[in-house]
Amino acid sequence: MGEMTERKPLIVGNWKMNANHLEAIQMVQKLSYRLEPEDYDRVEVVVAPPFTALRSAQVVIEQDHMRIGLGAQDAHWKESGAFTGEVSAPMLAKLAVQHVIVGHSERRQHFGETDEMVNAKARAVLDAGMSPIICVGETAQQKDAGEADDVVIQQVKAALARIEGRALASSAIAYEPVWAIGTGRNAMPDDAGEMAERIRAQVTDMTDSSVAEGIRILYGGSVSAGNIKDFMAKRHIDGALVGGASLEPDKFAAIVRYRI
């Protein structure tokens, strides 16, 4: 039955700390010029600019009736309160944000995000009516020590704790080996495909197969126009989280327009 499930590919551009709001408008416009209606029929296309550019991106997308979806790169787990510098999930939902990246390895590494925080953020994003893109992935050291599977499965378990199966159906999980991010050294597609399969099996254990078969599992880490099709050819990989290459509309459009 699982074999029959159609998952629409999801390709997300994670702009990280790049682009002011004026640059963001141009990037969204350029991307839109390069995509055709059938591209959006095949693939769900999302860009995740920095917080300061979300409102501008939202306005240009709405005014020009673009089919580009809007994502954010993080959200706090509380709805409001004394958390200087933070942005809440309801604030993002109000900007027509649909997807929120949570637990990116850069946040785990540089900002001390724990699995518990990632879980709280994922739940806050769902409570606000958006879909979390939950990032997991092992470091080079963990990979060399043969711990990659255990680390990733533990991260998935922790991130999904106490989330109801039905809510989870709209979520995505991005497998992003830390050593592959921004290095030009992508994972072997076979390895990434196998990890995606293990992640789906874990989601099945925690929910049921209909939820697990519907959830989208993305690969991230040095995705390019040259390698995207090798990842998308894997049965359990349903999209990509793209960093560097998403900053150039030509390159990002070429990734969206992959053909197997």
Q: Which is nearer to ligand PGA, 10 or 245 (CB)?
A: 245
Counting contacts by CB under 6 A, is residue 178 touching ligand PGA?
no
Size of the site for ligand PGA (CB under 6 A): 13
Dist CA 215 CA 227 (whole Å): 23
The answer to whether the CB of 22 falls within 8 A of the CB of 53 is: no
Residues 40-79: x where in contact with ligand PGA by CB under 6 A, - otherwise, as a string: ----------------------------------------
Using CB atoms within 10 Å of the CB of residue 97, give its burial: 0 to 12 exposed, 13 to 18 middle, 19+ buried: buried
CB of 181 to ligand PGA, least distance (A): 4
| CB-based burial, 181-204: b 16+ in 10 Å, e otherwise | beeeebbebeebbebbebbbebbb
For ligand PGA, which residue of 9, 11, 14, 108 counts as binding (CB under 6 A)? 14
User: Which candidate in 104, 106, 113, 213 is catalytic?
Assistant: 104
Footprint of ligand PGA on 228-257 (CB under 6 A): 241-245
23 counts as catalytic: no
Which tokens is 72 given?
Answer: 């954010």
Dist CA 153 CA 151 (whole Å): 6
86 counts as catalytic: no
Residues with catalytic annotation? 104, 176
Instruction: Give residues in contact with ligand PGA (CB under 6 A).
Output: 14, 176, 181-182, 220-223, 241-245
